[in-house]
């Protein structure tokens, strides 16, 4: 009876682990689907494909050749606006100023444009992109992956990013980009919805200037208690309330964002600006977030020294079709099945259990690729295949050792022998992770995480599963 109970417990343990692996495998390979508006949507995060697989968006920025009309007085000071009559009466002068005068079209500024665009793409989490500048024409050519975020990214590429806080009345510039340290997006959820805020943090110079501005531009109530004798006789102890208020105007690329005064001084060097109203639906909220993120990215990356227009925005189709990817997946699945059959023939039940564990490792590997934002490229697919081959070799070594030793001794021996032999592969994988070229870095990153999963997964899943099976009756 004791032996039968022990055997039954063993079977239950094995079945529980196997069912867990099957569940993980179904999630990893097929996803988790939820019905939404008569459509079944996969709740798992999408894979991030390289431009070679997904296709690319080709964007061309061309130098802006427009001119801006400026009105100046006799002293050379700019006048915000004036009618033709005022211009004639006061002797104002109209000037046509190029948006990109010759002195800004330098090689140094072109390099600065390239660096600023690179920063913006990095901050927008675009991991793969190409930027090229024609130093003769000044044109900028950019390639980014074709995905759902492509259209949102494009709007940030040619935005100048000129930030100003000015005196609303005198037009004096009080603060500009040089005062900004960083910016970000904040959220606040209340019963009325989720509010989105753009937070601008100023550097030490900006912090002091902001404190000074918020002390000076405060709404104040002045009570006039002075009255003539006649007024006193008409109205006893009458007082008059007069309100004087100085305001600042915040601008982005000469477009007014807001005009305001302050209730109290800001001493922490941080200013929070509300973006839209409190949102209750996901679509509206995401729109506000995107808007705030784009402004934050532009402010953080710096002001473009040259003004550009978007000349071209076209989609480049990949040479690799979805059908090709399905063929690759099918080939890997067939080879995996053949490998598991070989394990079953060689090691019987232990081979079957190891094969099931092997499939579970593949599923977890795919989930990790999704949620660690690893780029799936042609090269990284070879990294995945290499990881699966290495895990198969590890599994075969482990099963061989189990024939001679108990599971824990066999596991320790297998880990030592296996990882000592693949030290060169580990070094290559780590080195490739730091190469600034997606085909190489994606291969190295995928392979590195494959090696990590081999080390961790087999220690907590494969070895314990085989231990349960090989326990003496």
pLDDT of residue 114: 94
Token pair 């067939």 in the structure block, residue = 334
pLDDT reading at 6 higher than 80? no
pLDDT reading at 37 higher than 70? no
The predicted-structure confidence for 62-91, as pLDDT tens digits, reads as follows 999 888 877 777 766 777 677 777 777 777
Task: Indicate the range of 17-21, 83-87, 337-341, 395-399 predicted with least confidence.
Answer: 83-87
pLDDT of residue 205: 93
Where does the pLDDT of residue 59 fall: very low under 50, low under 70, confident under 90, or very high at 90 and above?
Answer: very high
- Crossing angle of the two packed helices 438-457 and 423-433, in degrees rounded to 10: 130
- In 3D, which of 200, 157, 152 has the Cα closest to residue 175? 200
Retrieve residue 291's tokens.
């808007």
Angle at 11 between CA 10 and CA 12, to 5 degrees: 90
pLDDT reading at 229 higher than 80? no
pLDDT reading at 423 higher than 90? yes
Retrieve residue 243's tokens.
């309100």
Residues shown for the chain: 473
Q: How far is CA 29 from CA 78, 351, 360, 369, in A?
A: 65, 22, 10, 12
pLDDT of residue 240: 40
pLDDT of residue 3: 61
Token pair 């495998």 in the structure block, residue = 25
Query: 89 by DSSP, 3-state: which?
Result: helix
Q: For 153-192, list the strands marked E by DSSP.
A: 163-167, 173-176, 180-190
- In 3D, which of 334, 333, 341 has the Cα closest to residue 362? 333
Query: 23 by DSSP, 3-state: which?
Result: helix
The predicted-structure confidence for 363-376, as pLDDT tens digits, reads as follows 999 999 999 988 89
**Cβ neighbours of residue 470 closer than 8 Å, sequence gap 6 or more:** 350, 402, 406, 407
Taking residues 27-46, report their average pLDDT: 81
Where does the pLDDT of residue 43 fall: very low under 50, low under 70, confident under 90, or very high at 90 and above?
Answer: confident
pLDDT reading at 306 higher than 90? yes
Q: For 191-260, list the strands marked E by DSSP.
A: 193-202, 220-224, 240-244, 248-252, 255-260
Task: Indicate the range of 163-177, 223-237, 305-319, 404-418 predicted with least confidence.
Answer: 223-237
> Rounded to an integer, what distance in angstroms lies between the CA atom of residue 31 and that of residue 28?
6
> Could you say which DSSP state residue 28 is in?
H
Instruction: Tell me how far apart the terminal alpha carbons of the chain are, to the nearest angstrom.
Output: 12
> Rounded to an integer, what distance in angstroms lies between the CA atom of residue 304 and that of residue 322?
39
Task: Indicate the range of 177-181, 210-214, 220-224, 312-316 predicted with least confidence.
Answer: 220-224
More confident residue, 8 or 64: 64
The predicted-structure confidence for 85-140, as pLDDT tens digits, reads as follows 777 777 777 777 888 888 999 999 999 999 999 999 999 888 889 999 999 999 99
pLDDT of residue 202: 93
Retrieve residue 417's tokens.
């022998």
Contact by Cβ (8 Å): 100, 306: yes
> Rounded to an integer, what distance in angstroms lies between the CA atom of residue 440 and that of residue 427?
14
Where does the pLDDT of residue 333 fall: very low under 50, low under 70, confident under 90, or very high at 90 and above?
Answer: very high
pLDDT reading at 472 higher than 70? no
Contact by Cβ (8 Å): 245, 221: no
Contact by Cβ (8 Å): 280, 193: yes
Return mean pLDDT, the chain.
86
Burial of residue 403, with CB atoms counted within 10 A of its CB: 0-12 exposed, 13-18 middle, 19 or more buried: exposed
Taking residues 314-341, report their average pLDDT: 91
Q: How far is CA 81 from CA 68, 70, 87, 205, in A?
A: 13, 9, 10, 32
Where does the pLDDT of residue 241 fall: very low under 50, low under 70, confident under 90, or very high at 90 and above?
Answer: very low
* Sheet hosting strand 193-202, strand order edge to edge: 180-190, 193-202, 270-279
- In 3D, which of 187, 205, 207 has the Cα closest to residue 195? 187
């Amino acid at each position: 009876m004791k032996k039968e109970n022990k055997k039954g417990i063993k079977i239950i343990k094995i079945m529980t682990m196997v069912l867990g692996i099957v569940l993980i495998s179904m999630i990893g390979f097929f996803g988790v689907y939820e019905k939404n508006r008569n459509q079944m949507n996969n709740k798992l995060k999408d894979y991030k494909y390289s431009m070679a697989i997904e296709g690319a968006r080709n964007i061309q920025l061309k130098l802006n050749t427009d001119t801006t009309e400026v009105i100046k007085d006799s002293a050379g000071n700019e006048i915000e606006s004036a009618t033709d009559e005022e211009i004639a009466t006061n002797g104002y002068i109209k000037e046509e100023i190029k948006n990109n005068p010759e002195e800004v079209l330098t090689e140094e500024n072109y390099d600065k444009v390239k660096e600023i665009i690179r920063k913006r793409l990095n901050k927008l989490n675009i991991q793969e992109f190409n930027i090229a500048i024609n130093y003769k024409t000044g044109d900028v050519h950019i390639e980014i992956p074709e995905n759902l975020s492509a259209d949102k990214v494009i709007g940030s590429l040619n935005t100048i990013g000129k930030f100003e806080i000015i005196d609303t009345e005198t037009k004096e510039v009080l603060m500009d980009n040089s005062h900004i340290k960083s910016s970000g997006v904040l959220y606040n959820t209340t019963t009325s919805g989720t509010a989105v805020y753009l937070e601008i943090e100023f550097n030490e110079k900006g912090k002091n200037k902001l404190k000074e501005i918020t002390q000076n531009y405060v709404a104040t109530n002045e009570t006039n208690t002075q009255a003539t004798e006649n007024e006193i006789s008409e109205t006893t102890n009458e007082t008059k309330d007069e309100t004087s208020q100085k305001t600042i105007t915040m601008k982005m690329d000469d477009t007014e964002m807001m005009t305001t005064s302050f209730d109290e001084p800001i001493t922490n060097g941080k200013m929070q600006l509300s973006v839209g109203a409190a949102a209750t639906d996901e679509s509206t909220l995401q729109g506000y977030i995107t808007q705030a993120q784009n402004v934050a990215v532009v402010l953080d990356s710096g002001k473009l020294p040259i003004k550009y227009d978007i000349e071209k925005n076209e989609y480049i189709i990949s040479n690799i079709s979805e059908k090709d990817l399905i063929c690759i997946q099918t080939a890997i699945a067939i080879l995996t099945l053949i490998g598991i059959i070989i394990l079953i023939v060689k090691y019987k039940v232990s081979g079957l259990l190891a094969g099931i564990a092997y499939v579970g490792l593949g599923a977890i590997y795919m989930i990790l690729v999704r949620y660690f934002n690893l780029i799936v490229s042609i090269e990284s697919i070879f990294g995945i295949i290499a990881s699966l081959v290495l895990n198969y070799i590890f599994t075969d070594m482990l099963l061989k050792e189990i024939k001679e030793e108990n599971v824990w001794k066999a596991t320790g021996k297998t880990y030592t022998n296996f990882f000592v032999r693949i030290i060169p592969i580990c070094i290559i994988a780590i080195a490739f992770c730091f190469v600034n070229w997606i085909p190489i870095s994606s291969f190295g990153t995928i392979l590195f995480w494959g090696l990590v999963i081999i080390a961790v997964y087999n220690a907590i899943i494969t070895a314990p599963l085989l231990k349960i099976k090989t326990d003496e009756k």
